[in-house]
Structures are given as structure tokens and as C-alpha cells.
Amino acid sequence: MLDFKSTTTLCLLAFAVATPSLAEHKPSDVQLRVMSIDWSQTETMLALGITPVASAQQSDYNDWVRSPKIPAETVDVGLRTQPNLERLSELELDTIFLSPRFSSLETQLSRIAPVKTLGLYKVGEVNWSAVTDFTRKMAKEINAEQQAEQLIITSERALGTLRNQLPANLPPVLLVQFMDTKHVRVFGENSIYKVALDQLGIQNAWHRETNAWGFNLTGIDKLQGIEGQIVVIEPLPAGVKEHLAQDQYWQYLVKETGYSSLLVEPTWSFGGLPSALRFANLITAALTEEVTQ
């Protein structure tokens, strides 16, 4: 038997990233034709009630980001690293949004439409303030400033509700995402997951170094001796679930913590406010369900 508990239950509260609460705050009459390469920008646009004309790599977005959903009318322009330039040139775009990680595309894309670069991830600077600042900057560019303020208010209220739902005396959590059967990303400072944990008052068990994206790529043997409950974040690479079900060392690691490990649905680890809120819902549901069982 695979030694972690899986939960797909989301807390039933006003989930801001689904954007129904923003319906009364309609976007400006000036509807810009915009698209984004980076998924953190795509999810933020959608959470603000703005439908991008196009986005990149939608099938993978659906696997890794999940929510908010990309509307059917949004054109898929292919890979984030190699978007279909011919298709983009047909869309009569007002602005193409990039993050710094895709800056190598700027020269090509600027021949099609004006390019705006907005980024969130800088070493030691990813926190709730940075996330809300990114949301406001994005909103200003797409004429959705009123929606941004409502989204932030709604999100902060939802986080407060989730925090009050959490059981008392929770252990720290060790957040991992498997890259293969022997290696994981462990998330700590500078990650969107840590932002969510901070807002919920949950301690992160990983206190070692992380990169600009908030993770440390390490072997699972480096998890031994860390005090905290292991939380595995999906998706799992092909074959990993079956391997872990038979891996005695993994079973030993989990048993050593004194807690069952938990499995939560995907949340984009390099996301913005919508990802922070989605993860907060998922981790709250997992920890609450664990206590009640």
C-alpha cells in the first residue's frame, strides 16, 4: 500500500480564483487584446476576470496549474519556450506579457506586438506583499485595477477563514514534489507554497537553502531526520506512485516522521495569488481531513 493519504476535498468557501465574486466588478469598457507566455500571468488575468486572447501550453497548464480554467475561446499558441509566431501575428494583440524567465523571446515577440515583462520571483523577495504587488501591477496593465483590489480583499478574507478552520497544534509540514523516484523538490523560503503557509500560520519544516524559485532539488535521503509531516504535491511522474508503494526506504522515512504523509492535488509552484489561494485551500482540506479521520 502506498504510504500517504490522498485528499481531493476543497474547503467550501468563496474560492477567489474561480472569480465569481468579481462578476459585479466588470472589467473596463476598454478590452485590450492581450496574451501571456507565463502561467502565473495567465492565472492572474483569469482571476481578475480578464480572458486572454491567447496563452501558451494549455494542456500542461491544465495538469500543473488547474485553476482558474482557461476558457475555450483562448487560443493555444504552443510551447512557452517556442510559441507559434505565425499564429500570434494573426491575433492583432495589444500586448504580449512575459516574465523574466522567458526574456529570450522578447526580440521575436516585439515584432508582433508590444511586449511587457512582469516578474514575481526574486531571491528572498517572495511574500504576500510581493504577491499582491504583482497582482496590482498586472491589473494596471490590463485595465483591471478595481478587480485586483476586490480579489485581494476576497483572498485575504478566505485565508482568514481557512486559518480559523485549521486544527490546533499542527506539526510543521515538509512540502515535496517528486522529480523521479529518488529526487524531490523541497519547498521553503521564496516559494508560493511558503507564502500560503505563512498566511495560514503553518510552519514549514524545511529551513535549508532554496533557489530563486523557492525549492531545493535533493535526494529523498536528505529528508531523513527532518521533523514534520510530509506533504507530497502532485502531479507525480510516470511510475513514481507505483515505485513508492514498494519502496521500503520511503516507507521508513514516512514512518520516522510519526505522521502519515499526505498527497494534495497540483498547484503551480511558480504561481501568483491564485496559486497561493488554491494551495491554501488544498493544504487546509488535507490537514483537516487528517485530523477528523
Encode pLDDT of 187-211 as tens digits: 999 999 999 999 999 999 999 999 9
Are residue 36 and residue 144 in the same domain, yes or no?
A: yes
| 81-114 pLDDT per residue, tens | 999 999 999 999 999 999 999 999 999 999 999 9
| 15-71 pLDDT per residue, tens | 444 443 443 444 445 678 999 999 999 999 999 999 999 999 999 999 999 999 999
Are residue 264 and residue 214 in the same domain, yes or no?
A: yes
Are residue 175 and residue 115 in the same domain, yes or no?
A: no
Q: What is the pLDDT of residue 291?
A: 64
Are residue 74 and residue 124 in the same domain, yes or no?
A: yes
Q: What total number of domains does the chain contain?
A: 2
**Alpha helices for the chain (secondary structure H):** 39-47, 58-64, 85-89, 106-109, 128-141, 145-165, 192-200, 240-246, 248-257, 273-292
pTM of the full structure: 0.90
Which structural domain range is residue 244 located in?
4-12+167-292
Calpha distance 154→139 (Å, rounded): 16
Are residue 123 and residue 42 in the same domain, yes or no?
A: yes
Residue 4 has pLDDT above 70, yes or no: no
Cell, residue 178: 517528486
- Using the 3D structure, point to which of 157, 178, 212 is the last residue of a domain: 157
Are residue 62 and residue 189 in the same domain, yes or no?
A: no
Are residue 27 and residue 153 in the same domain, yes or no?
A: yes
Q: Output the domain CATH number for residue 129.
A: 3.40.50.1980
Q: How far apart are the first and last CA of the chain?
A: 18
> Nearest-CA neighbor of 261 among 175, 192, 180?
175
- Using the 3D structure, point to which of 137, 157, 177 is the last residue of a domain: 157
The SS3 of residue 248 is: helix
Residue 287 lies in a domain: yes
Supply the DSSP symbol for 184.
E
Residue 162 lies in a domain: no
